[in-house]
Amino acid sequence: YYDIPDTVATRLGAYDWGIGNLRKAWEKYGENWSNYAPGETQDYIIKYK
């Protein structure tokens, strides 16, 4: 449905930050989207990845 790769990081990011926010970040920053996610989301991805 979205043009976002199905990875552990994108799934965790979508769950924690919301798919809409992740989609916007992906469109703007591509594979570097997680560098621009909130610190809480970055920590969540690191914790569960």
19-47 pLDDT, tens per residue?
Answer: 999 999 999 999 999 999 999 999 999 99
For the cut 80, the answer to whether the pLDDT of residue 1 exceeds it is no
Task: Give the max Cα distance, the chain.
Answer: 27
Task: Tell me if 39 is assigned to some domain.
Answer: yes
3-state secondary structure 31-42: HHHHHHCCHHHH
Mean pLDDT of 3-9: 95
CB 4, CB 16: distance < 8 Å: no
Residue 39, pLDDT score: 98
Q: Note whether residue 2 is domain-resident.
A: no
Q: How far apart are CA 48 and CA 26, in angstroms?
A: 20
Structural domain contains residue 3: no
In a domain, 35, yes or no: yes
Q: Which domain holds residue 15?
A: 8-48
Per the domain annotation, does 1 fall within a domain?
A: no
Query: Count of domains in the chain?
Result: 1
Length of the chain, in residues:
49
Q: What is the pLDDT of residue 2?
A: 74
